[in-house]
Amino acid sequence: GAGVSQSPSNKVTEKGKDVELRCDPISGHTALYWYRQSLGQGLEFLIYFQGNSAPDKSGLPSDRFSAERTGGSVSTLTIQRTQQEDSAVYLCASSLSPMRSETQYFGPGTRLLVL
Amino acid sequence: KQEVTQIPAALSVPEGENLVLNCSFTDSAIYNLQWFRQDPGKGLTSLLLIQSSQREQTSGRLNASLDKSSGRSTLYIAASQPGDSATYLCAVSLLAGNNRKLIWGLGTSLAVNP
C-alpha cells in the first residue's frame, strides 16, 4: 500500500514569500505529525493532529507557521514571510491512532531552501 | 527538559562486524523509546519500539535494549552489511499528559565498508 507522501520534494523560495507544504498520510491513519530537521540539528516536533484538530501545536516556532488538516486526511503546513532560518527538511508522519505505542510512519520530506 | 544524546556521532566499520550504538536521555519519565533509520531522500523508517516496561526488543539482526533507570538504550547490529549504512536516530516519547511529541537525538551516521 501507499506510504506517507509529501509534496513538493524540494522547494526553493525567496525570503519573504509564503510557502505551502503538503502531506498525504497513510489511508486510515487518524494521527498526523509535522517535524523539522535543520542542518546539524536533530528533528524538532512542530505539531500533531488527531483527526482535523491539533491538540498539540507547541512546537510551531512562530506565528508565521500554521497548519491545517481537512477531512481527517491531507495536511498543509504554511510558512508565511519565509526567513533564511526556515531552511530545513520538513517531515510528515502518520500513525494509526495517537496512542503513544503506535509506530509513526514518515514521508520522504520536503527540502525547503529560503534564499 | 528532556534531552537525548547519541554516541558516537559517526562510525565506520568493515562488513561483518558487530556494533553497538548508544542513546542516553536525561529524564527517565518516558513512555517509550524508538530507534529509526534515516536514508537520504527516503525519510525515516522505524526499526524498533521499546515500551518503558520492556527491557529489549529484537528484529532480525537488530537488538535494542532499554535501561530506563539509568537513561540509556543501545542498538546492537549483528554481522553488519553495507546495506546497513545509514543514519540511526533514537527518539523518546514523553510520559506526561496530551503530549505526543518525540524528542530526538542527533543520530549516529554509520558506514559499513565492503
Give one DSSP letter per residue of A29-54, joined into a string: --EEEEEEE-TTS-EEEEEEEETTEE
- Partner-chain contact A100 B4, CB within 8 Å: no
| Residue A70 exposure: Cα atoms within 13 Å on the Cβ side | 3
What b/e readout covers B74-87, taking b as 16+ CB neighbours within 10 angstroms? bbebeebeeebbbb
Query: A23 touching B, CB under 8 A?
Result: no
Which residues of chain A from 28 to 67 reach within 8 Å of chain B, CB to CB? 31, 33, 35, 40-45, 48, 55-56, 58-59
User: What would the pLDDT profile of B23-62 be if each residue is shown by its tens digit?
Assistant: 999 988 888 899 999 998 778 899 999 988 999 999 999 9
CB A98 within 8 A of CB A32: no
Give the per-residue pLDDT at A93: 93
CB A17 within 8 A of CB A82: yes
Q: Which residue has the cell 523508517?
A: B45
Give the per-residue pLDDT at B38: 93
Q: What's the grid cell of residue A105?
A: 510512519
End-to-end CA distance of chain B: 41
Q: What's the grid cell of residue A89?
A: 527538511
Angle at B87 between CA A12 and CA B27, to 5 degrees: 105
Count of Cβ atoms closer than 10 Å to residue B59 Cβ: 11
Question: Mind telling me how many Å the CA of A5 is from chain B's nearest CA?
Answer: 10
Q: Could you give the percent of chain B with pLDDT greater than 90? A: 75
- Partner-chain contact A101 B51, CB within 8 Å: yes
As a whole number, mean pLDDT of residues B56-84 equals 96
Give the per-residue pLDDT at B14: 96
What residues have CB less than 8 Å from B17, skipping those under 6 apart?
B79, B80, B112
From A45, A98, A105, residue closest to B102, measured CB to CB: A45
Comparing C-alpha atoms, which of A81, A74, A90 is closest to residue A35? A90
Q: How confident is the model at residue A97 (pLDDT cuts 50, 70, 90)?
A: confident
Which residues of chain B from 16 to 35 reach within 8 Å of chain A, CB to CB? 31-32, 34
Q: How confident is the model at residue B68 (pLDDT cuts 50, 70, 90)?
A: very high
- Partner-chain contact B104 A58, CB within 8 Å: no
